[in-house]
Amino acid sequence: MDVPRRVRWQYYVYRVTNSMGFYVPVSVIYLLHRGYGLEYIGLLQAVFSVSLLVAEVPSGYLGDRLGRRRTLAVGSLLRAAGLLGYVVVDFAAGYLLLKICFGVGWAFRSGNRDAWLYDVLDSYGDTACFARVDSRASTALLLASAGGALAGGVLYGLDPALPFLVNGTVALLGLPVLAAMPDGSGDHGDNPVTVRTAVDTLRAQTRRPEVRWVVAYTVVLFLVFDLTRTFEQPALDAIGVSTAGMGVLYAAFKLVSAGAAAAVGQIQETLGTRRSLLLAAPLVGLSYAAIAVVPLAVVPALFLYRSLRVVIRPIRNQYLNDRLADVGRATVLSGVSMVLSLAGAFARVGGGAVANRTGPLLFLAGAGVTLSLSAGLLWIAVSPVRPAAPGDVVASADD
């Protein structure tokens, strides 16, 4: 049975309301212009990661227990509050509180969003199209973010608070869209998800090599992405890119990422899950090594990392979803995000101190090369992508 077009478009529109396009291109520059250094900015990003970490498993549990649509709505409200707070907050502790609010809101969205989509597709017997539908939604999100990035630079020039005000409003628009969406939570009948079930499910999944090692491999790669996102604006500032120029550049980032997202289905069909993930490590290593030799190479490296990120995420989540039961799916996916958040928090705190000494360009070059080599060694040692265990139902065409 085909998934109704109405349901797919509701999901696409909801994803568009998740856009951070107005805010992201100026988020770090905004703080730098107010006298905050890279160490404080690294601390803020670490606080975001820790907040995400603490909220991840509870958010997945609530999604499994109370309904994913309701949990997604809470996430929209919290993200809106974290953005709109920039309009009135202008002190260090206040920004920390906003990051906590934003991090918790992000957690309420992460695992639940993917679990909701997979459950809805499963109800129509079409889970094999998960990566394709998710990547199309990512394309819509990135195109909207490209427009937002262009507008964000202009709005910042008019009033630095405007990008945050507009982006917070966009997040609030997700509420009526969610109200029209199907809930997507499966009926667990006589086996409702409890806290004990959630903990037991996480423990059981981490013992499975086919789950554990693909998570570990992608965590290492996503650390490159997390560190880059934190320090890319200072790096661009170091090569002379203006605030308005960053808006244009971020719009271009989004457009290229949108193209990559639209190609996910074709990439997965052509290369398969194994080769798609394997090629990511050497591509990252080579592009970031070039920054140490030619500082301007940071620009193509930023284009590449964004493209790889939007390709890797749906392929990884398709792989994991195919190996997870409906009961506790959001909990497990939130657990994956929890691991990413924990690793990112440590990396950002340490990264801020190192970047202050080496400069953002040399730091990004060193971090990218080191982490891509680590990912390559992990692949050689444990072969992360493995066939499904007996009893798993795999919809992917190629593992």
H-assigned helices in the chain: 5-16, 27-32, 38-66, 68-84, 92-123, 130-158, 162-172, 174-180, 195-206, 209-238, 243-262, 264-293, 298-321, 329-358, 360-382
Q: Give me the pLDDT at residue 188, please.
A: 45
Q: Give me the pLDDT at residue 295, please.
A: 93
Range of the domain at 236: 5-185+194-382
229 part of a folded domain: yes
* Averaged pLDDT for residues 234-242: 87
Q: Give me the pLDDT at residue 61, please.
A: 67
Q: Give me the pLDDT at residue 195, please.
A: 53
Helix, strand, or coil here: 296?
helix
Q: Give me the pLDDT at residue 184, please.
A: 61
287 pLDDT tier (thresholds 50, 70, 90): very high
395 pLDDT tier (thresholds 50, 70, 90): very low
389 part of a folded domain: no
| Distance separating alpha carbons of residues 212 and 209, to the nearest angstrom | 5
Of 324 and 85, the one with more pLDDT? 85
pLDDT digits (tens, 9 = 90+) for 333-350: 666 767 776 777 777 777
Of 293 and 180, the one with more pLDDT? 293
Angle at 148 between CA 145 and CA 154, to 5 degrees: 150
Number of domains in the chain: 1
Helix, strand, or coil here: 352?
helix
pLDDT digits (tens, 9 = 90+) for 163-216: 999 999 999 998 998 888 876 654 444 455 555 655 666 666 666 777 778 888
Q: Give me the pLDDT at residue 397, please.
A: 38
Q: Is the pLDDT of residue 398 over 70?
A: no
305 part of a folded domain: yes
Q: Give me the pLDDT at residue 76, please.
A: 92
pLDDT digits (tens, 9 = 90+) for 312-322: 888 887 887 77
| Distance separating alpha carbons of residues 45 and 358, to the nearest angstrom | 19
388 part of a folded domain: no
Task: Tell if the pTM clears 0.85, that is, is over it.
Answer: no
286 part of a folded domain: yes
374 pLDDT tier (thresholds 50, 70, 90): very high
87 part of a folded domain: yes
393 part of a folded domain: no
Q: Give me the pLDDT at residue 396, please.
A: 41
294 pLDDT tier (thresholds 50, 70, 90): very high
Q: Give me the pLDDT at residue 57, please.
A: 65
Q: Is the pLDDT of residue 234 over 90?
A: no
363 pLDDT tier (thresholds 50, 70, 90): very high
Q: Give me the pLDDT at residue 185, please.
A: 53
| Distance separating alpha carbons of residues 144 and 17, to the nearest angstrom | 9
Name the least confident of 39-43, 58-62, 210-214.
58-62
Q: Is the pLDDT of residue 238 over 80?
A: yes
399 part of a folded domain: no
What's the CATH number where 238 sits? 1.20.1250.20
| Distance separating alpha carbons of residues 298 and 102, to the nearest angstrom | 28
* Averaged pLDDT for residues 29-36: 85
Q: Give me the pLDDT at residue 190, please.
A: 45
